[in-house]
Amino acid sequence: MSAPDLSTEFLSLPLANPLMNASGVWCTRVAELEALLDSAAGAMVTKSCTLTRRDGNPEPRYRTLTGPGLAGSLNSMGLPNEGHGYYLDYAAQHDYEQKPLFFSVSGLTLDDNLTIVAAARDAVLPVQLELNLSCPNVPGKAQPAYDFAAMDELVTEVASAYRRPFGVKLPPYFDFAHFDAAAEILNRHDHLAWVTCINSVGNALVIDTANESTVIRPKDGFGGLGGDYVLPIALANVNAFHRRCPGKVIIGCGGVRSGEHVFQHLLAGATLVQVGTALYEEGLGVFSRLNRELARLMESKGYSRIADFQGALRTL
Ligand code: RRO
């Protein structure tokens, strides 16, 4: 058998493979974006941006977590970014032939989001706009996606301002009533073409026993959890929205650090799979390793392309 074909499509755009960075990792500065472009990732996304530049929260604001056989991260970056114009400038000179580019938007108010979305629309670029409804780390700001009325208003306003296909980044939900409520809002919008599940698990608390202390400074130590701890939560959310939003593409994010994890996200219904904590820890070489591991696993199962198993999770 010849080597499995990892190529795929996102909204009819061809990709060499289904991997990309998770927003926030390796995508805040142009030098990082250029390195991502040269990496083995099939697509890439910019750091979530606000209207103007932000320094973010005080350090330490990212902590690598190690436990018995577990790897993960806790972050409270607080949206450090260069402002929306910086990422639109990058988007204007990005090589779209090489790989698709996603532009992540996380304005602090409805008006800020609409200003950024209008700027992206007027730039008329082949960039994929994703609205981040789930930043857990801005002190005093609740996540829009945990307030269904606010989420409905934001998605409705952005859809009518943008008038092109766009996506949303969701936090994890933990109840079928919440999967249903979120999906009902998303399914009302035809221009909402994809859903990225999940952002970090918000407001987790990690404790350093020796020092009897928190491990990051912002928000009294509460931050977004990523890595191994969140994989089953991510898979549940990917599959829950895959089942409830048949007309929409699902992008999986959460807990991916092996080819087997990529396979599980694809099986649960993801079309693309993002890598956050493992990219932060391992660097850009993670993409070629994950592609290699995914191809080896597919080969051992007799699959020659992703379509052979994508979304085909069996239940008992
Ligand atoms: O910058 C952050 O603190 C951050 C954001 Br915007 C997000 O969406 N998710 C996350 O874990 N951190």
Residue 206: its pLDDT value, please? 98
Among 183, 219, 194, 190, smallest CA distance to 204 is for: 219
Q: Is the peptide bond before 198 cis (omega within 30 degrees of 0)?
A: yes
Evaluate: CB of 50 within 6 angstroms of ligand 1.
no
Evaluate: CB of 132 within 6 angstroms of ligand 1.
yes
Coil, helix or strand for 149?
A: helix
- Pick the catalytic residue from 27, 49, 135, 245: 135
Atom 8, ligand 1: residue with shortest CA distance: 135
Q: Which residues have CB under 8 Å from 300's CB, separation 6+?
A: none
Residue 68: its pLDDT value, please? 86
User: For residue range 66-94, what is the model confidence (pLDDT) as tens digits?
Assistant: 988 899 999 999 999 999 999 999 999 99
Evaluate: CB of 224 within 6 angstroms of ligand 1.
yes
Q: How many CA atoms lie within 13 A of 311 on its CB side?
A: 16
Ligand 1 centroid, distance to 77 Cα (angstroms) = 6
Residue 1: its pLDDT value, please? 67
Residue 67: its pLDDT value, please? 85
Span 8-57+79-200+228-308 CATH architecture: Alpha-Beta Barrel (3.20)
Q: Is 135 a catalytic residue?
A: yes
Query: One digit per residue, pLDDT tens: the chain, 316 residues?
Result: 689 999 999 999 999 999 999 999 999 999 999 999 999 999 999 999 999 999 999 999 999 999 888 999 999 999 999 999 999 999 999 999 999 999 999 999 999 999 999 999 999 999 999 999 999 899 998 999 999 999 999 999 999 999 999 999 999 999 999 999 999 999 999 999 999 999 999 999 999 999 999 999 999 999 999 999 999 999 999 999 999 999 999 999 999 999 999 999 999 999 999 999 999 999 999 999 999 999 999 999 999 999 999 999 999 9
Coil, helix or strand for 71?
A: strand
User: For residue range 33-52, what is the model confidence (pLDDT) as tens digits?
Assistant: 999 999 999 999 999 999 99
Ligand 1 centroid, distance to 301 Cα (angstroms) = 36
Q: Give the number of the atom of ligand 1 that is nearest the alpha carbon of residue 57.
A: 3
Evaluate: CB of 145 within 6 angstroms of ligand 1.
no
Q: Give the number of the atom of ligand 1 that is nearest the alpha carbon of residue 80.
A: 1
Evaluate: CB of 137 within 6 angstroms of ligand 1.
yes
Residue 29: its pLDDT value, please? 98
List for the chain the helix, strand, coil content (%; round to 5). Answer: 40, 25, 40
pTM for the model stands at 0.99
Residue 189: its pLDDT value, please? 97
Evaluate: CB of 106 within 6 angstroms of ligand 1.
yes
Ligand 1 centroid, distance to 134 Cα (angstroms) = 8
Q: Is the peptide bond before 60 cis (omega within 30 degrees of 0)?
A: yes
Please state the domain extents for the chain. 8-57+79-200+228-308
